[in-house]
């Protein structure tokens, strides 16, 4: 192995070591938080699917107010639910 190959290998090893070290500092989700996030995403996806279906049936794009009325939620609650699902 020549000097350039040794340097490349050393650099590659250092980058991997640095990456593994840095990801070790990031806290992982607990099983409970993972379930909460999954439920938030599922709720958002359900709401978006309902909106899409309603828009197809009605032939127009729903405003936030109309969408909220159709899914029987307040505008604030609908907006919060969608935002939580996007996190």
Burial of 67 (0-12, 13-18, 19+ CB in 10 A): buried
Structure-token match 């309902």, residue found:
50
Query: What's the domain range around 46?
Result: 3-86
Q: Give the pTM.
A: 0.67
- 17: tokens are 């070591």
Count how many domains the chain has.
1
How many CA atoms within 13 Å lie on the side-chain side of 61?
A: 1
The 10s digit of each residue's pLDDT in 24-61 is: 888 888 999 999 999 999 999 999 999 999 999 999 99
- 19: tokens are 């990456």
């Amino acid at each position: 192995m020549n000097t350039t190959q040794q340097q490349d290998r050393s650099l590659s090893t250092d980058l991997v070591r640095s990456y593994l070290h840095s990801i070790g500092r990031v806290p992982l989700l607990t099983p409970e938080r993972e379930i909460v996030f999954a439920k938030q995403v599922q709720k958002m996806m359900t709401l978006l699917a309902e909106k899409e279906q309603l828009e197809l049936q009605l032939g127009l794009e729903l405003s936030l107010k109309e969408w909220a009325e159709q899914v029987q939620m307040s505008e604030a609650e609908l907006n919060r639910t969608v935002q939580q699902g996007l996190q």
